Amino acid sequence: MSTASASMAASQPRSRVPLVAGALIVLGALMIGAVFDANTGLLMIVGGLLGMVLYHAAFGFTSAWRVFITERKGRGLRAQMVMLAIAVVLFFPALGTGSLFGTPVYGFVAPIGVSVIVGAFIFGLGMQLGGGCASGTLFTAGGGNARMMITLLFFIVGSVIGSAHFAWWQSLPSFQPVSLVNVAGTGGGIAISLALFAAIAAFTVVMEKRRHGQLEQAPAVNKHGMERWLTGPWPLVAGAVGLALLNFATLALAGRPWGITSAFALWGAKAYTLVGGDVSQWGYWQFSWNAAALEASVWRDITTVMNVGIILGALAAASLAGRFAPNFKIPLRSVVAAVIGGLMLGYGARLAFGCNIGAYFSGIASGSLHGWVWLVAAFAGNMLGVKLRPYFFAGEAGKKPAAKTC
């Protein structure tokens, strides 16, 4: 077989996978829309687009925080601030009026207390050991990362354990939920939020220039036009814009922002029920909406539908990029880190009313002060996680900060 023929033969399976993944997203959207409701079906497509954006932009929260902690490079953190700024400008007017395009909407506004602080810290630690956050675990697992499939499995287990202990944690001291939209109004809330985002971005610039003398430049890409948008990589800012717009689309279709980890608790609880367990008496499952989700089909759950869409969208993106190649030769210490990290991610998310998406991204986009508390506590957990990573990942021990350059 000639080289050209071999190349064509190898590219055929790669070209089929995105088509299959795309077909599954569309078929799933049609079936869910027909059986349940049209908006839930459309959210499968939104999930697929989120998966593609996350994968092609490599928009990771875990890696961005680790790079800043270890090397003081803040390009990823600044992209997160752009994402949050766009989201706040879009969300606050809708949340202030309580409706969007005629649909009632609400934000993720949660109490601030011991549960949030401890849960976010545990989640942050789990980010570095597990190798990803909630969105990162989904899109890298969908993209073929075998290790992240282990993290995802134990993320689900940790979520179930967290739901078992949820009532006890909620009995600890806490403050009532606080929303910037309610306290400062739509305009005031936007102004306060944008000032905070600008301050964080400026802080990363100062720290990066102090360490390196200049800001990190985006890597050069030899792809242009449609080829780059189909196969990646995308600029980080494009990822930030895409995630903000798709979260807003979620608000419009679901009546609430994007979340991820409640579905993990639901999947784990349903699996536990199948083997004879009973979670119905646990405090977490006695909330009316959680009890209803437990009784209903898993495909009625909006978060489940979107999560499946994210996995399929990331699968399509990885295949288009020619990078879908699962490697199951995982070092034992890395497996152990995935197990421990996954358990921490799941447990921490339940305690903290969400993850890097539900609590951090969507919480701050909702004006909730608990989102800001989550950010601080989770970042502290990441700092400890970075220190522990060399015990689990070869090649990270003894790393030194990059030297300052002029």
State the Cα–Cα distance between residues 215 and 237, nearest whole angstrom. Answer: 15
- Distance, in Å, from the CA atom of 344 to the CA atom of 155, rounded to the nearest integer, reads 7
The torsion angles phi and psi of 401, rounded to 5 degrees, stand at -60, 150
Within a 10 A sphere around the Cβ of 187, how many other Cβ atoms? 11
Alpha carbon 83 to its chain's center: 13
pLDDT at 179: 96
What the block records as the tokens of 210 is 């102090």
Query: Can you give the pLDDT at residue 7?
Result: 40
Looking at residue 14, what is its pLDDT? 57
According to the model, what pLDDT value does residue 230 have?
A: 87
Cα 198 to Cα 191: distance, rounded to the nearest angstrom: 11
- Whether residue 320 contacts residue 33, with contact meaning beta carbons closer than 8 Å, is answered with no
CB 127 within 8 A of CB 345: yes
pLDDT the model gives residue 404: 36
- Helices 146-170 and 134-142 sit at what angle, rounded to 10 degrees? 150
State how beta strands 103-104 and 99-100 pair. Answer: antiparallel
Give me the residues paired with residue 179 across strands. Answer: 368
Q: State CA 325 to chain mean position distance.
A: 22
- Angle, CA 57 vertex, CA 150 and CA 155 arms, to 5°: 20
Using a 10 angstrom Cβ sphere, with 0-12 exposed, 13-18 middle and 19 or more buried, the burial of residue 40 is buried
- Residue 397: the pLDDT is 57
Residue ranges covered by each domain of the chain? 17-215+246-391
Show the DSSP H helices in 275-405 as ranges: 288-295, 302-320, 332-351, 362-365, 369-388
**Cβ partners under 8 Å of residue 296, min gap 6:** none
- What DSSP letter does each residue of 175-213 carry, written as one string? EPP-BHHHHHHHHHHHHHHHHHHHHHHHHHHHHHHHHHS
Q: How far apart are the C-alpha atoms of 254 and 37, rounded to whole Å? A: 11
Q: What is the DSSP string of 62-107?
A: HHHHHHHHHH---HHHHHHHHHHHHHHHHHHHHHHHTEETTEE---
To the nearest whole number, what is the mean pLDDT of the chain? 92
How far apart are the C-alpha atoms of 237 and 301, rounded to whole Å? 31
| Residues of the chain under the 70 pLDDT cut | 1-15, 397-406
* Residues contacting residue 372 through CB under 8 Å, at least 6 positions apart: 196, 364
The Cα–Cα gap between 201 and 72 comes to 12
